[in-house]
Amino acid sequence: MEYGLIGEKLGHSYSKLIHEKLADYTYDLCPLSREEFPGFMERRDFKAINVTIPYKKDVIPYLDEMDENAAAIGAVNTIVNKNGRLIGHNTDFSGFEYMVVSNGISLSGKKALVLGTGGASNAVAAVFRKLGAASVILVSRSGKGEAVTYEQCLSAHTDAQIIANTTPVGMFPNVDASPLDLTPFTSCEAVLDVIYNPAKTRLTIQAEALGMKGVTGLSMLIAQAKYACEFFLERPIDDAVIPEITKAVEKECGL
């Protein structure tokens, strides 16, 4: 494999379609079990790869170097093999920032919740802080580290104005699941779900029903792929391709 994506379950992925529209290379989907993952990383038999759930943190011990963005976030979704040295990057930050800004969502002075503490949550929280959020609260089932539990969230943080879901809850094929009931969040203006399949999650459908803005993650997926492709090929690509490819993917995948 020269270019591709590794993760545990990739049957829902649009990454092959997106990357092969971005550039003239073959992009392979490479699902890896927990047992297969170490051997794959040790072999280093690729030019460049993307990394998704659940390996964004697990790849770090195999790297020779990380850029500042990846190091600060503590997760990697893009790895480039430069003459046998593995360099880690994180394009989730730029991809999520594009998703927020392109949808006209303001964070300035607002209270934001980030559901989940996996590989994408740190990037999402960092974007919220960069865009001026007054406070960013992490929410997880366990409440470990800096996160609060969902129960604590419901007792103390229902005044949040922006909510982002970085968990896989609600992702295909479990499309009837939702990580949170939005009904108590009467001050919420917008809900951003990084899930891109289905095109509308149960969480964003409820958000819209309650008069909130609901945005799912296809634009983030395509934006982060564009930024990853720039690392792969070591050349810039115009941001104008992002909405173009978004429309093409929506059409081809019936979204």
CA 68 centroid distance within chain: 18
Tokens of 194: 């990084």
3-state helix, strand, coil in the chain (%, to 5): 35, 20, 45
Q: Are 191 and 213 in contact (CB under 8 A)?
A: yes
What distance in Å separates the CA atoms of residue 239 and residue 255, rounded to the nearest whole number?
22
The Cβ-side half-sphere exposure at 237, using a 13 Å CA radius, reads: 22
pTM, two decimals, is 0.90
Q: What is the chain's Cα-based Rg?
A: 18
Maximum Cα–Cα distance across the chain: 53
Tokens of 48: 């460049």
Angle at the Cα of 94 (from 62 to 29), degrees rounded to 5? Answer: 50
Tell me the mean pLDDT per 10 residues along the chain, length 255: 95 92 96 98 98 94 95 94 97 96 97 92 94 98 93 98 96 94 98 94 98 97 97 96 95 84
Active site members = 56
What pLDDT, in 10s, does the model give residues 128-137?
Answer: 999 999 999 9
